[in-house]
Amino acid sequence: MPDPAFFRINAPLVAVQEIEGEAILINFDTGCYYCANATGAVLLDLVQRGESVLAMGAALAERCGVAEATVAEAVSAFLAEALAGGLIVAGVSAVSVDGGTAAGPASVAALTYVEPQLEKFDDLQDLLMLDPIHDVDQAGWPMQAPNPDTGTPNSPA
């Protein structure tokens, strides 16, 4: 049974890419994409490594040279936001085998603590819209239903 103390990246619906200490996440289900700052990227890396929520807080605190109590609430909030956005789902207490596993050894370079943040963008959601209203041609392939006002096919998004 999934353990809420562990999470995994919601692959393949979600793709995550670390780049120069930050991370980009794309949710192909919702059409939203996100930028995670440096500390957020660390947490996402730890998610991919199958670390528990407690271990993530400890690891982030150690990287940033701050007390665990300093980061605990922010870590929970970050993970809650990622969960609400469908970016992560409850996992099991092992390295994820469902995709999204982190490549290479974990970085241990010191990091200045800033609250982990996920910046969300939804300006491209229209690109994933599917027109549910369609007819079928004589060969059996869907085709756009005619515009009820004009009788011609709707101009697509």
Would you tell me which residues interact with other proteins (CB under 8 A)? 11-12, 15-20, 22-24, 26, 28, 31, 33, 35, 99-100, 121, 123-124, 127-131, 134, 136-144, 153-157
DSSP code, position 9: E
CB of 17 to other proteins, least distance (A): 4
Q: Which is nearer to other proteins, 69 or 140 (CB)?
A: 140
73: enclosing H helix or E strand: helix 68-84
First-to-last CA distance in the chain? 41
- Considering the complex, what minimum distance in angstroms separates the CB of residue 137 from other proteins? 7
Cα dihedral sign for 96, 20, 75, 120? negative
Residue closest to 127 by CA, chosen among 90, 157, 85: 157
Question: Which residue lies nearer to other proteins by CB, 80 or 143?
Answer: 143
Distance in Å, CB of 20 to other proteins, minimum: 4
**Shortest distance (Å) from residue 151 CB to other proteins:** 14
β-bridge pairing 134-136 and 118-121: unpaired
Among residues 4 and 142, whose Cβ is nearest to other proteins?
A: 142
Give the pair of three-digit tokens for residue 61.
């605190």
Structure tokens at 23: 């991370």
Nearer to other proteins, 38 or 53 (CB): 38
Per-residue tokens: 62: 């150690």
Residue placing its CB nearer to other proteins in the complex, 106 or 143:
143
CB of 49 to other proteins, least distance (A): 16
